[in-house]
Amino acid sequence: MPIDWRALVREGDQVVCSHMTSEPVMLLHSLADAGLDFPFDVTLGVPFSPAAAALPSQVVLTTFGGMGSAGSMARNRTVRISLTPYSRCGTAYAEKTERADVVLLSLARDPDGELWLGASHGYILEAARSARTVVAEINAQSPCILGAPWPADIKIHAVMETSYPLADLQERAPDDIERQLARNVAAIVGEGACIQVGIGSTPSAMLNALAGHRHLGLHSGMLSDGVLRLIQSGALDNSRKPAGSHMAVTGCVYGGEALYRFCHLNPAVQLRAPDYTHSAEVIAQHDDFVAINSAIEVDLIGQVNAETIATQQGAMRYVGGVGGLNDFIRAARHSTRGQAIVALPSRTGGTQGRTRIVARLSGPATVAASDADVVVTEHGVARLRDATLDERVRRMLAIADPVDREELERRAREMLP
């Protein structure tokens, strides 16, 4: 039965969508085709599809940065950027600092007819609890991930039955620099560590480099094909996690069809909300917690820009976001023997590219110098925790590309006391 959007959405409404691999793609297409001629806002979090690009021009989109398809949509329409830390994205709706009038979400159904959040959690339950109207698509191809059943106390006002494949992560093969970077990271990750890692060719290389480890655990915002390879290799078994939590904990499953099949109703995988996956209190219970993240650039005192790049005109273009970076970096320091690693190639595009170890950030300081812990490039490891300014500069210069070191050292002498 078609959705009567004019009966559900009002002028000025805040429409909040589930995101990543639970993005309500078919509902967004349907909403775009409804011909609504009044303004309303749509929150997408991290969209993986371009479905929202077809919404009317008067609709303002809000995303968590330039990740996924958000960056390309921002080139053609108004996109607002949320700077809310990912650990708080659900809490913001519970505390009413964010508003949800209409919620659109994608759900999964198990063989017994029970509904689940699908392959991604996020802020959507808290948004749905405060919304006037909840609209759900039920995707027959979505896996049911344990830990995230649909709560019986939240009423669904309209339903669309649909069937389409989830977003498929196409991994680019890592290059030689990324493989060396990955080896440097793997060398400082101990046996039995509990890891958090993102997605992309560099994180994929780092996961591959951990295949020789044993008794690794996962507590992360993302579970990818690289994690599945670690499980299948015997490297990641969650056996040293705290009692009662011997399972891979994630906020989103994102990969290929084999990964979705593996995670479907698998008791070894649990999907949890951001206030759990990104919680410092929860992470502190895991000894040897290692947060492994990347960035756009890091300066000589350890400040990290994970949000923007500078255009030729000097403007900031969002290609990343705040996300859960600070959550995991700070939480890792609460873990016994915890490490917060920022890993990145020292340059983009080799010697003809731009340096990513910089004297001064070109964009915002997503991570403050006081939170910096470990920075890794293909040239080595810089441990910055509790280091003085001059020690940090020396250690960062040592992991910069050799072609950049002389200029970086000159800039450091000019800038620092």
Tell me the per-residue pLDDT of 299-340, one tens digit each, with 9 for 90 and over.
999 999 999 998 777 778 899 999 999 999 999 999 999 999
Considering the domain boundaries, does residue 223 fall inside one? yes
Considering the domain boundaries, does residue 198 fall inside one? yes
Phi, psi of 107 (to 5 degrees): -120, 165
**Do 264 and 290 reside in the same domain of the chain?**
yes
**Do 231 and 92 reside in the same domain of the chain?**
no
Q: In CATH, what number is assigned to the domain containing residue 397?
A: 3.40.1080.20
Residues 6+ positions from 215 with CB-CB distance below 8 Å: 191, 192, 237, 239, 240
For 105, the enclosing helix (H) or strand (E) is strand 102-109
**Do 253 and 330 reside in the same domain of the chain?**
yes
**Do 251 and 150 reside in the same domain of the chain?**
no
**Do 126 and 193 reside in the same domain of the chain?**
no
**Do 56 and 140 reside in the same domain of the chain?**
yes
What's the pLDDT at 310? 83
pTM: 0.95
**Do 158 and 180 reside in the same domain of the chain?**
no
What's the pLDDT at 170? 82
Instruction: Record the tokens describing residue 82, joined without a space.
Output: 């949320």
Considering the domain boundaries, does residue 169 fall inside one? no
**Do 268 and 340 reside in the same domain of the chain?**
yes
Q: In CATH, what number is assigned to the domain containing residue 154?
A: 3.40.1080.10
Considering the domain boundaries, does residue 113 fall inside one? yes
**Do 258 and 380 reside in the same domain of the chain?**
yes
Scan for tokens 């470990």, then name that residue: 374
From 101, 129, 162, give the residue that closes a domain: 162
Considering the domain boundaries, does residue 170 fall inside one? no
- Give bridge partners of residue 269 from the DSSP assignment: 248
Instruction: Record the tokens describing residue 375, joined without a space.
Output: 């920075």
CA distance 14 to 193: 41
From 133, 162, 191, give the residue that closes a domain: 162
CB distance 194 to 217 below 8 Å: yes
What's the pLDDT at 44? 97
Considering the domain boundaries, does residue 167 fall inside one? no
Comparing CA positions, the residue from 125, 131, 183 lying closest to residue 149 is 125
Instruction: Tally Cβ neighbours within 10 Å of residue 50.
Output: 14
What's the pLDDT at 350? 64
Q: Round the average pLDDT of the chain to a whole number and report it.
A: 95
By residue range, what is the domain housing residue 261? 176-415
Can you state the angle between helices 225-233 and 201-209, rounded to 10 degrees? Answer: 10
Considering the domain boundaries, does residue 311 fall inside one? yes
**Do 125 and 183 reside in the same domain of the chain?**
no
CB distance 344 to 202 below 8 Å: yes
Distance of CA 293 to the CA centre of its chain: 10
**Do 81 and 32 reside in the same domain of the chain?**
yes
From 162, 187, 207, give the residue that closes a domain: 162
DSSP notation for 216-277: BEEEES-B-HHHHHHHHHTSB--TTSPTT--SEEESBB-B-HHHHHHHTT-TTEEE--HHHH
Which stretches of the chain score pLDDT less than 70? 1, 350-351
Residues 6+ positions from 232 with CB-CB distance below 8 Å: none
**Do 106 and 185 reside in the same domain of the chain?**
no
Instruction: Record the tokens describing residue 1, joined without a space.
Output: 């039965």
Considering the domain boundaries, does residue 281 fall inside one? yes
Task: Return the half-sphere exposure (C-beta side, CA atoms, 13 A cut-off) of residue 171.
Answer: 21
- The number of folded domains in the chain is 2
